[in-house]
Amino acid sequence: MVYLALATGFALILLGLYGAITRRNLLRLIVGFTVADTGTHLVMVSVGYLPGRTAPILGAAVPPEVAALRIIDPVPQALVLTAIVIGLGVTALMLAYAWRIYATRGTLDISRLRQLKW
């Protein structure tokens, strides 16, 4: 189960990156990165998963005294939350860039953004 999730995550990263580095259209490229980001998040969550345990929320189901034996690792979950938000921010920024590039250059083809080189 964990392994499957992990593998899926890695696969998503590779898939997303493949899109991101082969597609010329900026929007598709951004979608590629989004997929890769998702894969990354999946990997992170999987790493924190302990088989047979429950979410790290205390209460009636998991009294604080037995928490150590019942819950999964809360840290990756916290990290993933942060990572998701950051990924969102970057995606928004890239989209804004894409829009602006389209507005000024009239193209969404990344290979036509080669004015700066060498």
Please give the structure tokens belonging to residue 40: 């990354």
Q: Which residue has the tokens 């080189």?
A: 117
Taking the complex as a whole, the smallest distance from the CB of residue 40 to another protein amounts, in Å, to 5
Compute how many other C-beta atoms are within 10 angstroms of the C-beta atom of residue 78.
Answer: 12
Taking the complex as a whole, the smallest distance from the CB of residue 64 to another protein amounts, in Å, to 5
The residues pairing with 71 across neighbouring beta strands, listed in sequence order, are: 54
Taking the complex as a whole, the smallest distance from the CB of residue 111 to another protein amounts, in Å, to 6
